[in-house]
């Protein structure tokens, strides 16, 4: 079905005049169409068919060697007023961006097909959901968008004759890294991406729409788009409590989203349900609570480090109907990556070259990916496609801190929680053992994904706090506290369930806590360590708050917040001063 929507037809015609494709294919999302596209991609070499007995419906794709990750320095927020983009975003004036990119898009699809991808972010028929249309000259993009979104005629049905859709234009063009741009025009509901073929830059429904455009849209419309996983914890009585959590990259977001409870809890009847592993759209429900949906339909996960030890649910999810990008191809035509287990004796690396474990370089790119349907995840929640979403009891922030943050603490109230999120940071791991790496502030894990001025974003969080009658409680976690030798004090992975349990107890008015200058920390014995080989001294160390360390931390927070100037909300400054006062600084 080709839509009769005039706004869509006019826009597609205008973009086709610019990019000059040989033909235009309107996609319907059918299985038959998928098979046809896969066949074409295999013929062009865009996809490689994997061992269909071991990995049914799975394929391998290799990107250009210069095109393997999100390019933050080539990613722009194009608002008419520079201050509306703020100091943490790259800005370009919309007229300048359109003019520059028009030249790059001019004739970029000559000799190629333009695919028209209609898609929905969010469950079909949900009040949360939004429609997008992406035009692309890449079959890889089409097949990934099929997995990551609700794609096809269902989107035209939802859109009807409305002109409210996000317009996405993508062309691989020449893949020239010097002319690579990912430009967002929040005031026009538009995204233009050129000269990349890598997922994070070209699957325009993902970070581009679901975070950068949606964060701007949400602020105007009274909801929130956040870089958060959503999970449910079911207790032995069958009650499920949902939490949303924001961590910067490399802090275990997907692993937490798909957590397998340790035997001690599993035996009691606890279960963990995955609603989403990356993005949450949140709005105030009729009952005054904050409700969330996962706008995505799939997982676009980092492969290296994923194994049956770190994330068994992810490993089960990717056994079928998965597209692997930039991983190692094994002699038996399956896939391997660093951290998955024993390496094969030989293989073809992510660049398409012969490889052995002695090659001296990685077989898979460190940012190699899998794209897999969320419905295949063994821990997927029965509520994950509920159009109403799920009610959020707790919001969790976290990062990688060797000495600063305790294992877990609860903010005093919503505004204090916003300050905790606004100043959250993660450390890069330093080469020297025990030495702390570079501290990178990443507010709410949204630094690369906020579609407008981050000071206004903090203000919006504070405003939402006034509008939510029954707000979630806000917590901070840190699985990465170390001793003086640089060894992790907490076992992590499934054992993080013990911390989640304390968080949920606190939301239900239980769970013992002690007040400290930074918030409420679990009282001695409040975190159940039954069956864990962990001493009282280590638990004490994990939950300690060191005044000298925090004095330095607060100085660093102040330095970070300075860049927002007069636009920084007064309440954030008041929270910072109150924190100093509690420490007697």
Q: Which residues are annotated as a binding site for Mn(2+)?
A: 207, 227, 278
Reply yes or no on whether 251 is catalytic: yes
Burial class (CB in 10 A: 0-12, 13-18, 19+), 289: middle
The rounded distance, in Å, linking the Cα atoms of 426 and 250 is: 9
- The rounded radius of gyration (Å) of the Cα atoms in the chain is 24
Known binding residues are 70, 198-200, 207, 227, 249-255, 278, 367-369, 400, 493-496
Annotated binding site for substrate: 70, 198-200, 249, 367-369
Contacts for 535 with CB less than 8 Å, ≥ 6 apart: none
Q: Is residue 534 packed enough to be buried (19+ CB in 10 Å), middle (13-18) or exposed (0-12)?
A: middle
Give the pairing type, strands 130-136 and 113-121.
antiparallel
The DSSP call for residue 318 is T
Q: Active-site residue among 78, 183, 208, 251?
A: 251
- Print burial letters for 542-567: b (CB count within 10 Å at least 16), e (below 16): bbebeeebbeebbeebeebbeebeee
CB 57 within 8 A of CB 31: no
* Nearest C-alpha neighbor of 195 from the set 207, 178, 213: 178
| Alpha carbons 47 and 355: distance in angstroms, whole number | 20
3-state DSSP call for residue 147?
Answer: helix
In the 3-class helix/strand/coil scheme, how is 510-568 assigned residue by residue? CCCEEEECCEEEECCCCCCCCCCCCCHHHHHHHCCCCHHHHHHHHHHHHHHHHCCHHHC
Dist. CA 457–CA 569, nearest whole Å: 10
Which residues, at least 6 apart from 319, have a Cβ–Cβ distance to it below 8 Å?
A: 55, 56, 58, 376
- Binding residues for GTP, by number, are 250-255, 369, 400, 493-496
Catalytic residues: 251
């Amino acid at each position: 079905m080709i839509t009769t929507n005039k706004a869509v037809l006019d826009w597609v015609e205008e973009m086709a005049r610019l990019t000059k494709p040989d033909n235009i294919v309107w996609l319907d999302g059918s299985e038959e169409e998928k098979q046809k596209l896969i066949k074409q991609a295999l013929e062009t070499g865009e996809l490689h068919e994997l061992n269909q007995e071991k990995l049914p419906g799975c394929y391998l794709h290799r990107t250009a060697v210069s095109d393997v990750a999100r390019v933050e320095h080539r990613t722009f927020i194009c608002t008419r007023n520079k201050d509306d983009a703020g100091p943490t975003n790259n800005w370009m004036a919309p007229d300048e961006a359109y003019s520059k990119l028009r030249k790059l898009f001019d004739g970029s699809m000559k000799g190629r097909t333009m695919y028209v991808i209609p898609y929905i972010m969010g469950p079909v028929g949900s009040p949360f959901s939004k429609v997008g249309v992406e035009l692309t000259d890449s079959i890889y993009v089409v097949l990934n968008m099929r997995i990551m979104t609700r794609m096809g005629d269902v989107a035209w049905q939802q859109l009807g004759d409305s002109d409210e859709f996000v317009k996405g234009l993508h062309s691989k063009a020449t893949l020239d890294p010097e002319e690579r741009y990912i430009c967002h025009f929040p005031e026009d509901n538009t995204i233009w991406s050129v000269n990349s073929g890598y997922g994070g830059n070209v699957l325009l429904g993902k970070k581009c729409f679901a975070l950068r455009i949606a964060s701007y849209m949400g602020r105007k419309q009274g909801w929130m788009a956040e870089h958060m996983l959503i999970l449910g914890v079911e207790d032995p009585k069958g009650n499920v409590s949902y939490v949303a959590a924001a961590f910067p990259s490399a802090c275990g977001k997907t692993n937490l989203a798909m957590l397998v409870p340790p035997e001690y809890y599993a035996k009691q009847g606890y279960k963990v349900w995955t609603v989403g592993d990356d993005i949450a759209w949140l709005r105030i429900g009729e009952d005054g609570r904050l409700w969330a949906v996962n706008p995505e339909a799939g997982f676009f996960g980092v492969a290296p480090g994923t194994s049956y030890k770190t994330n068994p649910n992810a490993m089960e999810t990717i056994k079928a109907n998965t597209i692997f990008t930039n991983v190692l191809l094994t002699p038996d035509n399956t896939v391997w990556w660093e951290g998955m287990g024993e390496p094969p004796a030989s293989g073809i690396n992510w660049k398409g070259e012969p490889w052995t474990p002695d090659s001296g370089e990685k077989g898979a790119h460190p940012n190699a990916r899998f794209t897999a349907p969320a419905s295949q995840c063994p821990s997927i929640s029965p509520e994950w496609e509920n159009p109403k979403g799920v009610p959020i009891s707790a919001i969790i922030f976290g990062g990688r801190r060797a000495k600063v943050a305790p294992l877990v603490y609860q903010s005093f109230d919503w505004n204090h929680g916003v300050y905790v999120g606004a100043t959250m940071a993660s450390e890069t791991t330093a080469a020297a053992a025990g030495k702390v790496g570079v501290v990178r502030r990443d507010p709410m894990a949204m630094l690369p994904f906020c579609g407008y001025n981050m000071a206004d974003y903090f203000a919006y969080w504070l405003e939402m706090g006034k509008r939510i009658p029954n707000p979630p409680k806000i917590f901070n976690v840190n699985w990465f506290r170390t001793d003086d030798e640089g060894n992790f004090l907490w076992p992590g992975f499934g054992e993080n369930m013990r911390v989640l349990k304390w968080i949920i107890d606190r939301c239900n008015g239980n769970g013992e806590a002690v007040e400290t200058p930074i918030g409420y920390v679990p009282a001695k014995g409040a975190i159940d360590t039954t069956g864990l080989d962990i001493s009282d001294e280590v638990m004490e160390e994990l939950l300690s708050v060191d005044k000298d360390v925090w004095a330095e931390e607060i100085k660093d927070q102040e330095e970070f917040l300075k860049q927002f100037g007069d636009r920084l909300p007064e309440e954030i400054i008041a929270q910072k001063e109150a924190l100093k006062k509690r420490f007697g600084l």
